[in-house]
Amino acid sequence: MKGAFAVFLLVLTVLVDDGQSPVQLRLHGGPAASGLVSQGLLAALPADASGFQAVPPPGLRNVRNDAQATVAPWVDSNGWRFQRGLTRANYEKLPAGASLLAAAEAFTFAVDAIVNPDASDLEELGRLLAFLKTNSRPAMPLVANVGIVDDGSPEMGEVLNMLTRRNLLYRVVPQGDRSLPVTVEVGAPAFPREALTNPSDFAARVREALGDDRRSVRVYGTSTVIAHLTGDDARARLHLVSYSRSRSEASIRVRVLGRYRPASVVAFGAPDGAALTDVRQAEDAATEFSVPAFNTIAIVDLERVK
Amino acid sequence: MDRRAFLASAAALPTLAQLEAPRTIPKYRVATTYKAAGPGVGMPGAYPGRVVTVHSAKSIDEVTEVVDVPTVREMIARGMTTLTGDRDSRDSWARFFNAQDVVGIKINGSGAPGAMSMPDVVAEIVRNLGVVGVPPANITIHERGGGQILLAKYDQFVPAGVRIASVDTWLGYDPDVYVEANFFGEEDTRSHLIRMVTSQFTKIINVPNMKDHSASGVTGCLKNIAYGEFGNVARSHYRFQTETYSFIGTLAAVEPLRSRTVLNIMDGLRGVWHGGPFSRDKRYRFYPKQMKFGTDPVAIDRFLIDVIDEKRKQEGAISVWNKEPRYFGTTPQWQADPSINRFVRETGHIEYASRLGLGVYDVTKISHTEITV
């Protein structure tokens, strides 16, 4: 019993309310992170890790296109894999700096993960894990604007990747589900199969079908932040994860569809007392606010205005 | 052709059909809580359709690039008095500024230190503001980009107390003033005005540098005040296409930027005739040895076209109006050859801005006075 209690303390606990019983999610530390395990910031490696699927390190690449004024940032996020149903991720090999992002995205998308940090990350990763532990809350239902009927193909995977990178909020739905404003089913007139050959163009079709005004979240002032929104009738919680090379973001502007009162913001790397600023209720029933500068992850809690 | 279809078809180089296709103006949404200050205030201001050009052969040494400060002082005094019709330049400056004003000097640092609004010119503007009572603490030399303004070292030329600032160091962007448009499917569709303009400045002096620009044809008053005061503007460039044609004027017309930009002084002591807006290759620098004065940015920029095009002609380069497909190439080709375009040059952005009421484009309707000192 005493041992079981100790194990309980070692896990970073995230409670997920999936409509049934709460589930404990864990971030497990690989051999390099034994110190963080002993501090109770990571769980020990599971006895059987075979159920954990290897995922690539998250990060950012800069892609230079000919005759373009600036380089285009290419976000490498595993968010789409998690949205597709992967619930156990193994970040097998993480270059320096990537473990914080791995922990942040696993936390944001509420998946179990094994994190093998580079030794140079350990100190900062420890601070981030403590931050995540302090700010973990029972999860709420995912907010999405687009339903995707996933055929499981690599091409559709790349479409999901593009949708994630562009903050077009979606969830995978069964065939025939029309509960969201837009349903994407390959083969429908608006989404012909041949369009899958160009995932970027396909994602643009989805955006066009939805329309920017109907999007639950817009992020301005950055092209390296991925937003993840959950909520219910009374509240919403917005995770913002920075994939910029330094993982830092200057003040960014966010628009959330619906009338909300900001309840709190916690931003890793921000000074104590950092707050949302310039909160506005837009005429089109949206709430806008500026998020303080942060590193890696910021979490905004909103209360719906009745 | 809608934007998605355009993007799908856009290759690295344009076809004649694409270049000759009817131009569509993007759908812009302007958000601002500010109203125009009234007729005669801001752009085109108190002197629409009037331009004064002051030349001086001794204004800058072409070898050392050292500026002759007394000559610049005289050029500015003559330019201002000729613009306003006053005998004493103090009266000219007093028409625009008083001790209560908080003045932003919008310099151009793109290309510093090889190309920029010369510190000696900016220092003389600051001195004149002091003469009419504007204290140093009420003056801010600014640029959007933080790195560029530091390269120019303005702090070494102006009195203590004058602030040198960029959006990175002071106040950031105004969340309530922006232009929204989706040009090429970019995710961030807003360009916000810097907050210095909305919350601090009562007046702005626009001090562009005389330069060629690969996308907008030339870069003068309009581009400096538009792309230099708003964020997220590089999104208007995609492959060979840009939306500078309509975006520059649209941004410049946004309040309160339009009403607060009361004076334009174009620094043409040193310029760039190809490869702009930067000056990575010294062989494309030239020395027009002139300054242009006015309140009308369109009228001044109209003559800038002639200065740049004339120089390009002298050098055997294609005109800033040339859009023939055979002259398009890659960025390295454009850098190496002044007769290569990397974007469709939108020199017409100046005429477009005139249609937004920002000034007079027709040279037959512009009063242009040229002086040599």
Q: Which domains does chain A have, with CATH numbers?
A: 2-135 (no CATH), 146-212 (no CATH), 217-304 (2.60.40)
Whether residue B236 lies inside any domain: the answer is yes
Give the model's pLDDT for residue A63.
67
- CB of A223 less than 8 A from some CB of B: yes
For B233, name the nearest residue in chain A, comparing CA atoms only.
A69
Interchain contact A9–B (C-beta under 8 A)? no
Average pLDDT over residues A285-291: 95
Model pLDDT, residue B15: 76
- pLDDT digit string, tens, across residues B67-110: 999 999 999 999 999 999 999 999 999 999 999 999 999 999 99
> Which residues of chain A make contact with B234, given a CB cutoff of 8 A?
69-70
Percent of chain A with pLDDT over 70: 89
* Cα dihedral B177→B183→B189→B193 (10° resolution): -30
Of A198, A251, A280, the CB nearest to B172: A251
Mutate which: B3, B168, B173, B199, vs A, most A CBs within 10 A: B173
- Domain that residue B195 falls in: 36-372
List residues in chain B touching A: CB distance below 8 A: 4, 7-8, 12, 168, 172-173, 175-176, 182, 185-190, 192, 215, 231-232, 234, 237-240, 330-331, 334, 342-343
pLDDT of residue A70: 54
Q: With beta carbons under 8 A apart, name residues in chain B contacting A65.
A: 239
For residue A219, list chain B residues with Cβ-Cβ distance below 8 A.
187-188
Report pTM: 0.90
B19 within domain boundaries: no
Q: Which three-class secondary structure state does DSSP give residue A111?
A: coil
Q: B354 Cβ partners below 8 Å, 6+ apart?
A: B298, B360, B361, B362
CB contact under 8 A, A250 and B176: no
pLDDT value for A64: 58
Q: Locate all alpha helices (DSSP H) within chain B, ordered by sequence.
A: 3-9, 16-20, 69-84, 89-96, 119-131, 146-151, 195-199, 221-226, 244-252, 257-260, 297-314, 331-336, 349-355
pLDDT at residue number A26: 85
Give the one of B175, B215, B238 whose C-beta lies nearest to A288's C-beta: B175
CB pairs A-B closer than 8 Å: 65
Say if residue A85 is exposed, middle or buried (CB neighbours under 10 Å; 0-12, 13-18, 19+).
exposed
**pLDDT score at B78:** 98
Chain A nearest-CA distance from B214, in A, is: 10
Q: For the segment A214-269, what is each residue's pLDDT rounded down to a tens digit?
A: 999 999 999 999 999 999 999 999 999 999 988 888 879 999 999 999 999 999 99
Q: Do B173 and A198 touch (CB under 8 A)?
A: no
Please report the sign of the dihedral spanned by the C-alpha atoms of residue B194, residue B196, residue B200, residue B202.
negative
Nearest CB to B4 within list A208, A223, A288: A208
Identify the DSSP state of B32. Answer: -
Q: Does A248 touch chain B (CB under 8 A)?
A: no
Contact B185 A280 (CB under 8 A): no
Do β-strands A277-282 and A286-291 pair in parallel, antiparallel, or remain unpaired? antiparallel
Contacts of A14-23 with C-beta under 8 Å, sequence gap 24+, read: A14/A107, A14/A110, A14/A136, A14/A139, A15/A136, A15/A137, A15/A138, A15/A139, A16/A110, A16/A138, A16/A139, A17/A138, A17/A139, A17/A140, A18/A139, A22/A138
Q: What is the DSSP letter of A114?
A: E
Q: What is the pLDDT of residues A81-99, one digit of tens each?
A: 999 999 999 999 899 999 9
Please judge whether A251 and B234 are an interchain contact, meaning their C-beta atoms are less than 8 angstroms apart: no
What is the predicted ipTM? 0.87
- CA gyration radius for chain A? 19
162-191 in A: which are within 8 Å (CB) of B? 166-167
Q: Which residues pair with residue A172 across a beta bridge? A: A148
Residue B18 confidence (pLDDT):
76
Q: Residue B288: is it exposed, middle or buried by C-beta count within 10 angstroms (0-12/13-18/19+)?
A: buried
Name the residue in chain B with its Cα closest to that of A253.
B175
Q: Which residue among A65, A198, A219 places its CB closest to the CB of B8?
A: A198
A221 and B4: CB-CB below 8 Å?
no
The SS3 assignment for B332 reads: helix
In the DSSP assignment, the letter for residue B156 is G
Residue B126 within any structural domain of the chain: yes
**pLDDT digit string, tens, across residues A112-130:** 999 999 999 999 999 999 9
Task: Tell me what the mean pLDDT of segment A9-16 comes to.
Answer: 37
Show residues of chain B in contact with A68, CB under 8 Å. Answer: 237-239
What residues of chain B lie within 8 A of the CB of A66, using their CB?
12, 239, 330-331
* Contact state of A250 with B343 under an 8 Å Cβ cutoff: no
Q: What is the mean pLDDT, run by run of 10 residues, along chain B of 373 residues?
A: 47 71 90 93 97 98 97 98 98 98 96 94 98 98 90 95 95 96 94 97 98 97 98 90 96 98 98 92 96 98 98 98 93 95 95 98 98 98
Question: Is the pLDDT reported for residue A167 higher than 50?
Answer: yes
pLDDT 10s digits, B275-331: 999 888 999 999 999 999 999 999 999 999 999 999 999 999 999 999 999 999 999
A91 Cα to chain B: minimum distance (Å): 28
Q: How many domains does chain B have?
A: 1
Of A67, A204, A288, the CB nearest to B239: A67
B344, B12 contact by CB (below 8 A): no
Q: Can you give the pLDDT at residue B12?
A: 59
Give the chain A residue nearest B238 (alpha carbons): A68
Q: Specify if B268 maps to a domain.
A: yes
| Helices (H), ranges, chain A | 2-10, 34-38, 79-84, 98-108, 122-135, 154-165, 199-210
pLDDT tens track for B226-235: 999 999 999 9
Q: How far is B229 from chain A (nearest CA, A)?
A: 15
CA torsion through residues B363, B364, B368, B372, sign:
positive
Q: What DSSP string describes B219-268?
A: ESHHHHHHTTTBSS-GGGEETTEE-HHHHHHHHHTSTTHHHHEEEEEEEE
Among A221, A195, A237, A225, smallest CA distance to A296 is for A225
Paired tokens of A203 = 């994602």
**What one-letter code names the amino acid at B280?**
R
